[in-house]
Amino acid sequence: MKQLFYNQSIEQVFESVDTNQEGLTQQAVQTKRSQFGTNELEQKRQTSLLEKFLNQFKDLMIIVLMVAALIAAFSGELVDAIIIMLVVILNALFGVFQEAKAENAINALKEMSAPDAHVRRDGQVITVKSDELVPGDIVLLEAGDIVPADLRLIEGAALKIEEAALTGESVATEKQFQQLADDTLGIGDRSNMAYMNTNVTYGRATGVVVATGMQTEMGRIAGMLNKTAESQTPLQANLQQLGKMLTILILIIAAVVFVIGLIRGQETLLNMLLTAISLAVAAIPEGLPAIVTITLALGTQRMVKRHALIRKLPAVETLGSTDVIASDKTGTLTQNKMTVERLYTNDQVIEATSKHDNTTELLTKIMSLANDTKQTPDGLQGDPTETALVQFAIDHNAVVDKVIADNQRVAEIPFDSERKLMTTINQSSDGFFAASKGAPDVLLERASKIEINGDIQPLSDQVRQQILAQNHELAKQALRVLAFAYKPLDSVPAEPTSAAIENDMIFVGLTGMIDPERPEAAESVAKAHQAGIKTVMITGDHRDTAQAIATRLGILTPDDEDAVITGAQLDEQDDATFAKNVKRYRVYARVAPEHKVRIVKAWQKHGKVVAMTGDGVNDAPALKTADIGVGMGITGTEVSKGASEMVLADDNFATIVVAVEEGRKVFANIQKSVQYLLSANLGEVLTLFMMTLLGWQILAPVQILWINLVTDTFPAIALGVEPTEKNIMKRPPRGRKSNFLSGGVFSSIIYQGILEGLLTLGVYAYALWQPLHNTDAQIHADALTMAFATLGLIQLFHAFNSKSIHQSLFTVGFWKNKYFNLAILVAFLLLAMTIWLPGFNQLFHVTHLELSQWRAVAVAGALMIAIVEIVKLIQRKLWYQNAKNDD
């Protein structure tokens, strides 16, 4: 069982790690290094570019295409084989290129390690590389340092450590050095511990190393990342399912045609084998993997323009199927910046955003003086609470530099976690005075007067209770409250002490601060709710702060206390119980990294597609476990970005909603392409199948491949950039069980494929019935050419039908997508030139057609649009009637 050093005395800690105040000897360091190894994180083995490339060929659809290409090559159809393999290789290169841009999460963790550490060994303070630390080393910390290992703090002054990357808590943690009695404290509450790769923002301290490398809290997270399996996206699952279905269908159809042809005895074994290959070529949508990849790639380009960076192509579509967004609070829903929100001064509560005139002048003066913030060309630097105070003063027209220059600091009593006060002694033209800030209850005990609108009055018990009531009211709103006071001085003691200075003070006011929600976050949460997506907030902050922010964001209602749960309460439930109760909770406070993974997995057990947003190291395991991890580009650590499929370049929660809309659009457009391709290929299969049964001359493999290449590829890609359909964000999420064939797509593929086949066979029969030539050879050649032209042209006409699964073409519009119109034109010219240009006639086994024959081909194409439009109209009326009856 892992030792909990925070609940041990310093003597017990020293005994546990075999050290003392003087530090380790060099001999002890060498012995421990051989026992514990170096203080660094283990790196997960990376896959090479070759492995990434070969992994692209594990998809069943790709395997089917390669088998078809192999059969075609052995049968002498080298053109078919070459084109199919080109499609396969291009698809693999797309995938490798996208994945090659990803950074490894464990590498990023390793790079975050502090380069140097100040340690006491053999009684002497020396500087060593952080990876040389071992348990038992005595480490010295000061403001600006990165904590080099997990430490139990043993002594120091006014230490504050910013732990947002580990705990998610936006406020720097005030540290102490006493033993803690509770043995159930979470990481964020272990105030006498300092953890690897967190930042010292204030004060100084000495600590003893209690864990290094993979035994640290950072190491635990790295281990969780290594153990997390890559999850399959809904898109990948859909394509895999579709590939299995097509494989079975293709094998059955090819086998049936092959057997029927042999039984009829009209064809040789070789001819029937070629016929079966033709059917396989017709049935396999060989362009589908490339079209999906291109559609996703175009989606990523659009999302980049809208500040969402995609690391893996399938992540574009995954967001579109999201049911739950499990969002980190700090830096994602909030600004990760402490901000003054309300003030109490001159006997009134003031909103920070209102105009104050001179009401807050004295308060902002003390804010600026009892403060260690530095103003630099890069902005304010210092403790987040103190920079918030200075920023408030600047925002309200206080010239802070002038205030500091006119009131020079001559002495100070630094902040102390026991005293909970900070005081500076300043000299102005009027003499000396002390400016103090600190905990309201503490400062009120040391105040005897209050200044209201320039009038100094005695601080009566009634006024004192009034101030404490205001403090309580601000605290109830999850605001962090500080009090401010001052005191005129006749002189400055040689050694200022709290007892001498911090008494008989004049109270000035209170400030209430919070890490506020992003301005657009509440609207984004509402949009997500409208889209049927549940937003769940996860944070390391305290319960009251989490509940207040969630209520302001609209995640909770004011009475939703039962929807808030802490990490400690979560620990009381086993996985089965929590999975059963997970739908009750919308806010998680004081959580650890393993809690976040449990939350994601609990939702996934309900079949939900979960997106996890986050910016800290603590978020990385859950980001990797989720169906899609969404990292923050600005405030996010390299670890969180490395574990994510998508990164928000602007750290804006609203961008997630934009990405969801884009993901839904991508899925809808891929679904349109799937419907178009499969119905077209079904039409080809039925045409060849019926030609075989009827004993007609069948289309040659090169003709089928040309139709597939020309009429499938260009229009299908163009369908991938169709504009977003109306109300796409008012539809419920598709969920994990939906696929490309759901929502009426499968039935549409069947009837539209049959319709294409019947119209093509009809034109073939018409050519035999109304011949323009006398010889049988010429009549059959014309009929075959008309069937070839009809099958290609019908598919181009049908592409217009496919611009929407259910909406009328006249509603969607003919000309809104210029790329689509250009694709149709290019495809038509490529199809027509095989018939029009003399050099291509022999290559494609076709003849020149007369105007009347082209007229029959065009009528068949027009009928395709008309019949599908009528069916869509009937479907819409039936659905409307059913919906009305359900109401």
pLDDT in tens, 311-337: 777 777 778 889 999 988 877 788 878
Mean pLDDT is highest, among 46-50, 153-157, 815-819, for 153-157
Is residue 80 within 8 Å of 705, Cβ to Cβ? Answer: yes
User: In DSSP terms, which residues pair with 505 in a beta bridge?
Assistant: 447
pLDDT per residue as tens digits for the range 684-710: 888 888 887 787 877 776 777 778 778
Q: What is the pLDDT of residue 83?
A: 63
What does the pLDDT average to over 239-250? 71
The size of the chain, in residues, is 887
The answer as to CATH 3.90.550.10 being correct for domain 288-300+664-726+735-886 is no
Matching residue, tokens 């989606």: 299
3-state secondary structure string across 425-445: EEEECCEEEEEEEECHHHHHH
Pick the CATH number of 5-43+108-227 from 3.40.50.720, 3.40.630.30, 2.70.150.10, 3.40.640.10: 2.70.150.10
What does the pLDDT average to over 58-66? 65
What does the pLDDT average to over 43-49? 64
Q: Please, which pLDDT band fits residue 790 given cuts at 50, 70 and 90? A: very high
Q: Please, which pLDDT band fits residue 733 given cuts at 50, 70 and 90? A: confident
Q: What is the pLDDT of residue 136?
A: 94
Distance CA 723, CA 392 (A): 45
Is residue 484 within 8 Å of 363, Cβ to Cβ? Answer: yes
Q: Would you kindly state where each structural domain of the chain is located, as residue ranges? A: 5-43+108-227, 288-300+664-726+735-886, 318-335+518-657, 344-514
Structure token digits, residue 194 = 């300092």
Contacts of 465 (CB under 8 A, 6+ apart): none
Query: Is 344-514 in the same CATH topology as 318-335+518-657?
Result: no
**What distances in angstroms separate CA 866 from CA 680, 798, 800, 869, one per listed residue?**
17, 10, 11, 5
Q: Please, which pLDDT band fits residue 100 given cuts at 50, 70 and 90? A: low
Distance CA 257, CA 735 (A): 38
**What distances in angstroms separate CA 220 from CA 171, 243, 624, 673, one per listed residue?**
23, 39, 15, 45
Whose CA is closest to 150, among 221, 76, 101? Answer: 221
Sheet holding 534-538, edge to edge: 308-310, 646-648, 628-632, 610-614, 324-328, 534-538, 587-589, 564-566
Is residue 49 within 8 Å of 193, Cβ to Cβ? Answer: no
Matching residue, tokens 């070529």: 281
Percent of the chain with pLDDT over 70: 86
3-state secondary structure string across 281-314: HHHCCCCHHHHHHHHHHHHHHHHHHCCEEECCCC
More confident residue, 272 or 256: 256
Distance CA 218, CA 187 (A): 12
Residue 456 DSSP code = E
pLDDT per residue as tens digits for the range 599-615: 999 999 999 999 988 77
Helical segments of 142-205, H only = 164-167
pLDDT per residue as tens digits for the range 551-582: 999 999 877 878 999 988 999 999 999 999 99
More confident residue, 60 or 655: 655
Q: What is the pLDDT of residue 115?
A: 65
Q: What is the pLDDT of residue 54?
A: 78
Task: Give the torsion through C-alpha atoms of 104, 107, 112, 115, to 10 deg.
Answer: -160
Matching residue, tokens 């603590």: 618
Is the pLDDT score of 199 beyond 90? no
* Averaged pLDDT score across all residues of the chain: 83
Contacts 24+ apart (CB under 8 A), 494-498: 496/411, 496/412, 496/413, 496/423, 496/425, 497/413, 498/413, 498/419, 498/421, 498/423
Is the pLDDT score of 291 beyond 80? no
Q: What is the pLDDT of residue 553?
A: 92
Identify the weakest region by mean pLDDT among 19-23, 405-409, 462-466, 806-810.
806-810
Q: What is the pLDDT of residue 667?
A: 83
CB atoms within 10 A of CB 448: 14
- Nearest 5°: phi and psi at 291? -65, -40
pLDDT per residue as tens digits for the range 847-879: 888 888 999 999 999 999 999 999 999 888 877
Q: What is the pLDDT of residue 274?
A: 62
User: In DSSP terms, which residues pair with 450 in a beta bridge?
Assistant: 457, 507
Q: What is the pLDDT of residue 573?
A: 93
HSE at residue 98, side-chain half, CA atoms within 13 A, is: 24
Q: What is the pLDDT of residue 150?
A: 94
What does the pLDDT average to over 629-648? 78
Q: What is the pLDDT of residue 173?
A: 84
The answer as to CATH 3.40.1110.10 being correct for domain 344-514 is yes
HSE at residue 850, side-chain half, CA atoms within 13 A, is: 11
Structure token digits, residue 89 = 């290789």
Q: Report, as residue numbers or ranges, the catalytic residues.
A: 328
Q: Is the dihedral of CA 527, 531, 534, 539 positive or negative?
A: negative
Q: Please, which pLDDT band fits residue 653 given cuts at 50, 70 and 90? A: confident
More confident residue, 15 or 287: 15
Is the pLDDT score of 287 beyond 70? no
Q: Is residue 251 classed as helix, strand or coil in its secondary structure?
A: helix
Residue type present at position 238:
N
Distance CA 379, CA 31 (A): 46
- What CATH fold (topology level) applies to the domain 318-335+518-657? Rossmann fold (3.40.50)
More confident residue, 633 or 564: 564
Is the pLDDT score of 107 beyond 50? no
Is the pLDDT score of 232 beyond 90? no
Q: What is the pLDDT of residue 455?
A: 93
Q: Please, which pLDDT band fits residue 135 given cuts at 50, 70 and 90? A: very high
Is the pLDDT score of 96 beyond 70? no
Distance CA 735, CA 731 (A): 12
pLDDT per residue as tens digits for the range 488-540: 999 998 888 999 999 999 999 999 999 888 888 899 999 999 999 999 998 87
Could you tell me the end-to-end alpha-carbon distance of the chain, in angstroms, rounded to an integer? 59
Is the pLDDT score of 468 beyond 90? yes
Whose CA is closest to 284, among 520, 60, 582, 577? Answer: 60
Structure token digits, residue 572 = 């009381």
Identify the weakest region by mean pLDDT among 230-234, 274-278, 593-597.
230-234
Helical segments of 731-775, H only = 745-769
